[in-house]
């Protein structure tokens, strides 16, 4: 696609469809190679995790983050764990850890507020009124987009509403929105309300795809087949980039192409994909997308989110939700109440940027300036591959190394192209006893009752020792649960 005159060049075209060359066989080869180098023959030996961590070229990234100690987490039993030891924090899929630099950036703007007051809006290295624009280049790199295709604004669900208000234009023949049945509740609620606001019924216009009977995840071919057969009725295909419950990474490029072949608009909720896996939204020809930043983006709970609108809509003036920040800066302060709509994604902003949230984003982007998401992606694959190996070896139903009645299956796809940092573990018994025992021992993971725990070794700050310690605690807890059964 040619660049429009005067615009920045497109981000680099991806060589692969979804940047990952890893397989579980390669992980096993790697583990065996490192075992040979270390002289540690048992791949489940905790000493191997120490050796792997010490040998990791990206191990220093962890030092850029505040990593919680076990004793600072609530409900930890200090008779069971050293309160001064690192916790086992594998919950970055819910909230990423705090970069140390964020406090410095935040303090700069707090000091500026204290010393300058209102003049901070338009002065300084990062004027508050323009602060969101200072994030666009870094955020654009993380999602594979041009600066004019992204905005940093609002929260995730607000941005979903902003985008659907603009792009969901149902007609009598094309009015359906297609999503997955287990999309995050916010997506369901937003889509339901948008359908009703446009005068249609949820029963008629909301289509939720279910996995095949007996399967946990959707097959790409089934999604594409449904679009090909029913696309003439679908106004918008709106999927999660990564499914929050199963951890499945959808084939964004293939699904977007399938939707476009049938004349559908295709949007994405990238809450669990942003800063987790490499994205190429511009080249994948995605129409629009939204994401939060506080998971793998590490910007703090509920912090500022973002949206993407493809450059083909750069001069598009479709009706949308508007506010002062939808207006071009060059004439914004004329205050004549005659809208001069900003172009591209900037025209989907509503309010001025909250500087304390933007400061957290600026802090996070300083981390991503130091390491590429492609290198982090490779590290992520080996971390999850190691976790997968340990779970299958020590808790798999057919494993001869299993020492407990408790068995665990992994509902996240085995194919590395179909997952990011998260593995969702499905337990053979309810986790209502298992989870509290993990928490007592300084483990932070996410529970989904009745029997799923979502574990995310995050590529930025987790390591092989974290993964092996989690497995050790899980073994301990499994025996306790059995003894009290």
Q: Which residues sit in the known binding site for pyridoxal 5'-phosphate? A: 156-157, 184-187, 240, 269, 272, 294, 324, 352
At residue 187, the 3 state secondary structure works out as helix
- List residues bridging with 265 in a β-sheet: 236
Side-chain-side CA neighbours of 426 within 13 Å: the count stands at 11
Least Cα distance to 16 among 150, 149, 144 occurs for 144
CA distance 478 to 483: 9
Least Cα distance to 96 among 273, 294, 271 occurs for 294
Bin 338: left if φ > 0, else alpha if -120 < ψ < 50, else beta: beta
In what side-by-side order are the strands of the sheet with 446-448? 408-410, 423-427, 452-455, 446-448
Least Cα distance to 264 among 123, 189, 169, 333 occurs for 169
Distances (CA, A) of 53 to 166, 374, 438, 458: 48, 19, 23, 14
CA distance 188 to 180: 9
CB of 285 within 8 A of CB of 267?
Answer: no
Least Cα distance to 251 among 15, 421, 18, 11 occurs for 18
Least Cα distance to 62 among 86, 82, 46, 81 occurs for 86
DSSP 448-485: ETTTEEEEB--TTT--HHHHHHHHHHHHHHHHHHHHT-
> Could you count the other beta carbons within 10 Å of the beta carbon of residue 47?
13
Residues making up the binding site: 156-157, 184-187, 240, 269, 272, 294, 324, 352
- Cα–Cα–Cα angle for 113, 116, 119, nearest 5°? 100
CA distance 177 to 204: 10
CB of 88 within 8 A of CB of 469?
Answer: yes
Instruction: Name, in order, each residue with C-beta under 8 angstroms of 44's C-beta and a sequence gap of 6 or more.
Output: 390, 393, 394, 401, 471
CA distance 289 to 269: 6
> Could you count the other beta carbons within 10 Å of the beta carbon of residue 75?
8
């Amino acid at each position: 696609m040619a660049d429009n005159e005067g615009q920045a060049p497109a981000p680099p075209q991806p060589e692969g469809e979804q940047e990952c060359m890893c397989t579980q066989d390669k992980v096993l080869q790697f583990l065996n190679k490192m075992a040979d180098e270390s002289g540690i023959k048992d791949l489940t030996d905790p000493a191997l995790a120490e050796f792997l961590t010490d040998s990791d070229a990206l191990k220093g990234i962890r030092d850029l983050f505040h990593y919680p100690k076990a004793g600072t987490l609530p409900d930890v039993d200090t008779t069971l764990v050293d309160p001064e030891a690192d916790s086992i924090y594998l919950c970055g899929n819910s909230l990423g850890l705090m970069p140390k630099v964020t406090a410095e950036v935040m303090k700069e703007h707090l000091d500026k507020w204290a010393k300058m007051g209102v003049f901070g809006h338009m002065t300084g290295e990062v004027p508050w009124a323009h602060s969101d624009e200072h994030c666009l280049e870094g955020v654009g790199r993380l999602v594979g987009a041009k600066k004019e295709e992204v905005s940093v604004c609002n929260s995730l669900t607000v941005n979903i509403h902003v985008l659907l208000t603009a792009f969901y234009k149902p007609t009598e023949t094309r009015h359906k929105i297609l999503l997955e049945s287990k999309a995050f509740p916010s997506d369901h609620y937003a889509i339901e309300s948008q359908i009703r606001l446009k005068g249609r019924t949820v029963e008629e216009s909301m289509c939720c795809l279910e996995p095949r009977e007996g399967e946990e995840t959707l097959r790409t071919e089934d999604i594409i087949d449904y679009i090909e057969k029913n696309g003439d009725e679908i106004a918008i295909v709106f999927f999660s980039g990564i499914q929050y419950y199963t951890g499945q990474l959808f084939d964004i490029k293939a699904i977007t192409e399938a939707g476009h072949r049938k004349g559908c608009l295709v949007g994405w909720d990238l809450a669990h994909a942003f800063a987790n896996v490499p994205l190429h939204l511009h080249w994948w020809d995605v129409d629009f997308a939204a994401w939060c930043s506080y998971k793998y983006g590490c910007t703090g709970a509920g912090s500022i989110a973002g949206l993407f609108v493809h450059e083909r809509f750069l001069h598009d003036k479709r009706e949308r939700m508007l506010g002062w920040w939808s207006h071009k800066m060059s004439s914004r302060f004329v205050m004549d109440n005659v809208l001069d709509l900003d172009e591209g994604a900037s025209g989907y902003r509503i309010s001025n940027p909250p500087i304390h949230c933007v400061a957290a984003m600026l802090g996070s982007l300083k981390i991503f300036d130091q390491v590429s998401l492609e290198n982090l992606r490779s590290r992520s694959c080996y971390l999850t591959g190691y976790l997968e190996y340990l779970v299958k070896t020590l808790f798999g139903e057919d494993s001869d190394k299993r020492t407990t009645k408790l068995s665990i299956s992994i509902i996240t796809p085995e194919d590395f192209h179909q997952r990011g940092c998260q593995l969702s573990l499905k337990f053979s018994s309810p986790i209502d006893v298992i989870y509290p025992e993990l928490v007592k021992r300084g483990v932070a993971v996410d529970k989904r009752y009745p029997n799923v725990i979502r574990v995310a070794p995050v590529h930025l700050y987790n390591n092989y020792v974290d993964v092996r310690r989690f497995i050790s605690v899980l073994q301990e807890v499994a025996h306790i649960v059995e003894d009290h059964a």
